[in-house]
Structure 1
């Protein structure tokens, strides 16, 4: 990866996005979508934007370099126009670990991946631009801004993806997948009638947790030999409504791995990666405290232990 080219691309994208933001009297993310469209189409009504996009084309960035440049753009955008907590993108470092888990547990060349709550698409772009597999990817996202942003970034990077705008808790028109992933949005789901269709629905005087519903939904659209990977609070199994969640797990899902992530990655509660499959078994859960995602020796030790204990 040529970091100098990534930095140059980042500066050109930011300059164009801020120019379009002022010209169109819109916010940063809408302007970024317009910039991506202008880049793909190779034309713009703004002469400076068009010239900068010509420079971007001449850089001839790889998919990995594009992905890194867009992550820096999204970080910068967060300084101008903050997204709500559940709309924040999944960091590369975590996506790389998820990619390793997929490669380890699903070694076949051709796989299908569904992401529930695909957000800005950073997870998708990280996985697809750093994998040698033939991945059929479908992202499900209810927010129209996020899905337009993710699709426009994928167009620039030239990723083969499909995005569907839909509430992921409701019935989906998709086939069962080899892998379902989700950086789970945390909170209550407001539609009690829809929630009552799920085993994890609570009978308490409150709404059901949306993240519990999405976990059950993920298993509904998982092949019998598939895996589901969630990024969720580390206290998922002891927090509110945990009894309902564990009652569903007892009959429907097996927690094969729980990987606690470094606390310094998160502003609020620490998170972990949860790996589920549909095999009802008494096999123990592989539990690991991954203390760093930047120290090579620590990451390699985790990979060795995961491969040894989960396969």
Structure 2
């Protein structure tokens, strides 16, 4: 990657976002969406009114940088980090770090040997996990992302289009059932908290008979419905997923519906809120032992290599 070009692009984009925010009296993220739309329209020689007034020259310079897909992805991360400084998002809306994306990528590449693959992301958020996978994959991925928040959806879709990725984003509540052809893999950086619709939650096996149900439990159960037989799901979820106050219901559901194939615990300091782990569920019944690995340092290549070697040995056996 050419970090000098990325920095140039970052400065051009931030200045455009600031200009739009001032002109339209809007916030950073809405202005970010407008900037992406203006850039895409300018590339089609159909600039918007905003682009004509303040953005055309900057977007032409941005286009002339000829950024690669990886450079665009990195540029957008820097823009989102800048946004987090001026307009912090709630924790469930923060983008998934590349270090986590790299582990998801490794797991998918290892467990799904076929070239063509259908992937569903539940709660695609800002799209960074999707972007990392699609930019770095060696596979032909048919990707669909479900996201209920319209701003996050617009940001993810516009960034994906600029990068040049083949991805479909849909405004969908991940807990509610949708008509969808079965997929090979489900992924999610699961949103943490209680689901507000108790009536709907109680139609699920993991739904609590009294009080609110954890939304991430509902999404795990829903994910299995979209998977092909022997398909698998990769989740970033709370480290206490199997020991929380609602864990017993989830474990009872797992007995009939899913095999917990792997748990990779992550360093606590990686998260501002509660610690998280990566969980791999397979849509099948199995008596095979769960692969468990405590990853101590995501920045230590020896630790990462040891994890990968142990993971491959376990699933090749």
Provide the TM-score with structure 2 as the length reference.
Answer: 0.95
- How many Å apart are 1:310 and its aligned residue? 2.5
Q: How many residues align?
A: 310
Q: Deviations over 1:54-88 (max 9, x none)?
A: 11111111111101110111111011111111111
Aligned match for 2:192, one of 170, 186, 194 = 186
Q: Distance in 1 between matches of 2:37 and 2:237?
A: 33
After superposing on structure 2, the runs of 4+ consecutive aligned residues of structure 1 that deviate more than 3 Å are: 44-48
- How many Å apart are 1:206 and its aligned residue? 1.1
Aligned match for 2:103, one of 93, 97, 117 = 97
The equivalent of 1:206 in structure 2 is: 211
Aligned match for 1:113, one of 111, 119, 128 = 119
Aligned match for 2:279, one of 274, 278, 287 = 274
Q: Deviations over 1:71-116 (max 9, x none)?
A: 1111110111111111111011100110010000012111010000
- How many Å apart are 1:3 and its aligned residue? 1.5
The answer to whether the aligner puts 1:226 opposite 2:231 as a matched pair is: yes
The answer to whether the aligner puts 1:17 opposite 2:17 as a matched pair is: yes
Residue pair 1:28, 1:81 contacting (<8 A) in 2 also: yes
Which runs of no fewer than 5 residues in structure 2 stay unpaired?
Answer: none
- How many Å apart are 1:264 and its aligned residue? 1.7
Aligned match for 1:50, one of 36, 50, 56 = 56
Aligned match for 1:163, one of 164, 169, 191 = 169
The equivalent of 2:268 in structure 1 is: 263
Q: Distance in 2 between matches of 1:71 and 1:226?
A: 30
- How many Å apart are 1:220 and its aligned residue? 0.7
The equivalent of 1:75 in structure 2 is: 81
Aligned match for 1:63, one of 54, 58, 69 = 69
The answer to whether the aligner puts 1:85 opposite 2:91 as a matched pair is: yes
Provide the TM-score with structure 1 as the length reference.
Answer: 0.97
Which runs of no fewer than 5 residues in structure 1 stay unpaired?
Answer: none
Q: Distance in 1 between matches of 2:308 and 2:126?
A: 28
Secondary structure of the residue that 1:185 maps to in structure 2? coil
CA RMSD of aligned residues (A): 1.1
Q: Deviations over 1:127-160 (max 9, x none)?
A: 1011121100000011111111111111111111
Residue pair 1:141, 1:168 contacting (<8 A) in 2 also: yes
The equivalent of 1:122 in structure 2 is: 128
